[in-house]
Each structure stands twice: as structure tokens, then as C-alpha cells.
Amino acid sequence: MANKILTKKFFRDNPCLKNTVQQFVYSYLLYDGIEDVANEMIIKNGLLSNERLEHIRQENEHIKSEQNPEAIFQLFPKKIDAMNQVELISKALAFDEVIFPMVIEKLLRSNHHIFIENSMRFLAKSQRNSSLLLQEKYFEIRSPYVQSLICLIIGLRGEEGCISWMMDRFFEMKKLYPNETYAEGPLIALHELNCRFS
């Protein structure tokens, strides 16, 4: 099926744009562990002040010691130091059963970029494959930015049967938002689906 829909001509006629938010989000979702490596290099090379290192340590201890899933979920929209984002998502995954429905529900109406990006990290690593649920909820999502990033999750975790659905989302976003990069989410997802299923 992928070969019939996702042709070389389609990708040639619809090249990915350079340096989009969707590409950035896709890169850290695709390369699991890249943030850990980057964090280690930053610390190893002494690029952080002692004050910031202490803040990171305290924040990290707070996240690790928290046992209330709702308190962890409440950290999703907070400005957590970038060095602790991996720890936050790791802790949230320990409460996957409780946090998963809260993330889905809030994503439907959220415009908060920090919450959205932490939610994408969580959904990409969740034990639950949310791709079918996300397709079902897609039109309830208020923000085209969230819709665009949700397409990345579906592209990473969805089945071959979602290719035609994703193609429709690509052309729809391209038509509705010609001056934005929202169509890049479904386009990158189609590249991912093509790699996985062709």
C-alpha cells in the first residue's frame, strides 16, 4: 500500500522545508537518547555555571522523589531546565497509566508550547501506542500546531493503514495554512511511514 501512495514523485513534488519546528521535534523523538548525550557533553565540557548546576541538581532530585502522578503532570507546562526534561519524561512514564489520559485530554485544548513538547516526548515513549486514539481525537484538537505534531507521533507509531489518512492531513494543512509550516508534521510523518512500510 505504501508504494502505491507514497511515490518518489510525491516526495519530489513536496520537499521538506528546512529548519522547521516539526523537524526539530522529530529529531529528538526519533533519536532516543540524543538529549542524554547532549546533556553529558554540556556538563563534561564545563559549559554550565555552578549556580545552574546546583539548580539542575535540586530540580532533578525534586522530580525523582515525587510520587504523585498529578504533581508530575503539573510539571509538563512548567519551565523545567532543559537538562531535566529527560528525567521528567522518564518519571512520567513510570505513571503511564495515570498520566496518559491527562495528556490526551489537555492536548485537545492546549496552546502552551512547553506542555505540548513535553507531551510529544511522553507520547512517543509511552507503553501505549496512541496512534489510533490520536487519529480519532484529531479533529477535536483546537491548535493546528498540536495537530501537526500529533501527526509526527502517528507517523512514528502508526500502522500502514494510516498512510492515506496522513496524506489527507498533509493536503488539508497545506491548503488551510499556506503561510505556516503545519503541513510539515504530516509530511515528515509520511516520510517516516514510507521508511517503515515500503
Q: Read off the DSSP letter of residue 140.
A: G
Q: What is the number of domains present in the chain?
A: 1
Average pLDDT, the chain: 93
**Containing domain of residue 126, as a range?**
2-197
| 99-126 mean pLDDT | 95
Q: How many CB atoms lie within 10 A of CB 136?
A: 10
User: Taking the CA of residue 47 as centre, how many other CA atoms within 13 Å lie in the half-sphere pointing to its CB?
Assistant: 9
Predicted TM-score (pTM) of this structure: 0.90
User: Do 39 and 86 meet the contact criterion of CB atoms below 8 Å apart?
Assistant: yes
SS3 192: helix
Length of the chain: 198
| 73-79 mean pLDDT | 95
| 105-113: long-range pairs with CB below 8 Å, 24+ | 106/76, 107/141, 107/146, 107/150, 108/137, 108/140, 108/141, 108/142, 109/142, 110/77, 110/143, 110/146, 111/142, 111/143, 111/145, 111/146, 112/77, 113/145
pLDDT exceeds 70 at position 2: no
Question: Could you read off the pLDDT of 49-65 as tens digits, one per residue?
Answer: 889 889 999 999 999 99
Q: Tell me what pLDDT residue 36 has.
A: 79
| Cα 135 to Cα 65: distance, rounded to the nearest angstrom | 35
